[in-house]
């Protein structure tokens, strides 16, 4: 409610709060504690920016988007990115894309989109195949999907990199049966299996979202260049995921009347 009426003032306060400086610690342990404290501040500020945009009036929010995203990127630009900071970064970007979607403005571009995507790709690359990391991977893919709905469209090189890194992580997730055997309890195995399935579906949605940015045969061929080799994987679950993704893409093409 406050952001709805006082967005510029809120942004000024957040920017001032972001100018924190940590004193140099004389001992390594103190340095570690200070680093954790700094990350918490960064995490909080990033989330506050997203919430402020989501609650603001459209006419106030749009002219300030460039500065807001610049501040988010500045707070995110630290070597020590833990899962909390990564999650906050992606949640904030999702909130911003939602705010623009709610405005129903077709002329709004997402500032620094390529830089945002580069950071999300780094998140995807960093995630090992374990349950907690799959949550981060899922959110990264959803974030890319949300950004794909906003102009400008990614260039071919960037789109290709997103697709390559994403499907490499998603297709190579452990098989559902293997996950069940490794889980500590039946309930846990079901949750993990469901989330792996959701992540695979989210990846398919991301692929069609990226294709929607530039809906033509060249873009389709570019994406298929990355998915098709997985059909020849020696692992059956990887082949199955690849086939489902390709089927999803082709179904999208057949149903999209604007496809060139």
% of residues, the chain, pLDDT over 70: 82
Can you give the pLDDT at residue 6?
Answer: 74
Can you give the pLDDT at residue 132?
Answer: 54
Can you give the pLDDT at residue 126?
Answer: 85
Distance of CA 221 to the CA centre of its chain: 23
- Using 50, 70 and 90 to split pLDDT, how confident is the model at 236? very high
% of residues, the chain, pLDDT over 90: 58
Write down the pTM of the prediction.
Answer: 0.85
Q: Is 80 exposed, middle or buried (0-12, 13-18, 19+ CB in 10 A)?
A: exposed
- Using 50, 70 and 90 to split pLDDT, how confident is the model at 103? confident
Has residue 191 got a pLDDT over 70? no
Average pLDDT of span 81-98: 94
Has residue 176 got a pLDDT over 70? no
Q: Which residues pair with 189 in a beta bridge?
A: none
CA distance 124 to 116: 13
- Using 50, 70 and 90 to split pLDDT, how confident is the model at 118? very high
* Average pLDDT over all residues of the chain: 85
The residue that leads in pLDDT, 77 or 2, is: 77
Range among 91-95, 128-132, 255-259 with highest mean pLDDT value: 91-95
Can you give the pLDDT at residue 181?
Answer: 44
Has residue 226 got a pLDDT over 50? yes
Can you give the pLDDT at residue 104?
Answer: 81
């Amino acid at each position: 409610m406050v952001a709805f009426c006082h967005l510029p003032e809120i942004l000024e306060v957040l920017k001032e709060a972001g100018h924190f400086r940590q004193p140099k610690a004389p001992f390594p342990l103190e340095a570690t504690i200070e680093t954790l404290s700094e990350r918490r501040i960064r995490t909080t500020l990033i989330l506050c920016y997203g919430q402020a945009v989501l609650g603001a009036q459209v006419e106030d929010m749009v002219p300030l988007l460039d500065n807001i995203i610049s501040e988010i990127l500045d707070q995110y630009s630290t070597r020590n990115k833990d899962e909390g900071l990564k999650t906050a970064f992606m949640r904030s970007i999702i909130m911003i894309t939602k705010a623009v979607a709610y405005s129903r403005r077709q002329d709004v571009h997402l500032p620094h989109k390529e830089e945002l995507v580069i950071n999300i790709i780094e998140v995807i690359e960093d995630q090992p195949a374990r349950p907690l990391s799959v949550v981060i991977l899922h959110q990264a893919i959803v974030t890319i999907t949300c950004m794909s709905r906003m102009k400008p469209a990614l260039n071919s090189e960037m789109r290709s990199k997103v697709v390559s890194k994403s499907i490499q992580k998603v297709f190579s997730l452990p098989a559902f049966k293997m996950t069940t055997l490794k889980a500590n309890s039946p309930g846990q195995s079901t949750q993990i299996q469901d989330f792996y399935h959701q992540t695979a579906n989210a990846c398919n949605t991301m692929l069609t979202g990226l294709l929607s940015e530039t809906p033509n045969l060249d873009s389709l061929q570019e994406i298929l260049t990355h998915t098709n080799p997985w059909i020849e994987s020696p692992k059956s679950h990887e082949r199955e995921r690849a086939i489902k993704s390709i089927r999803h893409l082709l179904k999208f093409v057949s149903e999209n009347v604007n496809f060139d």
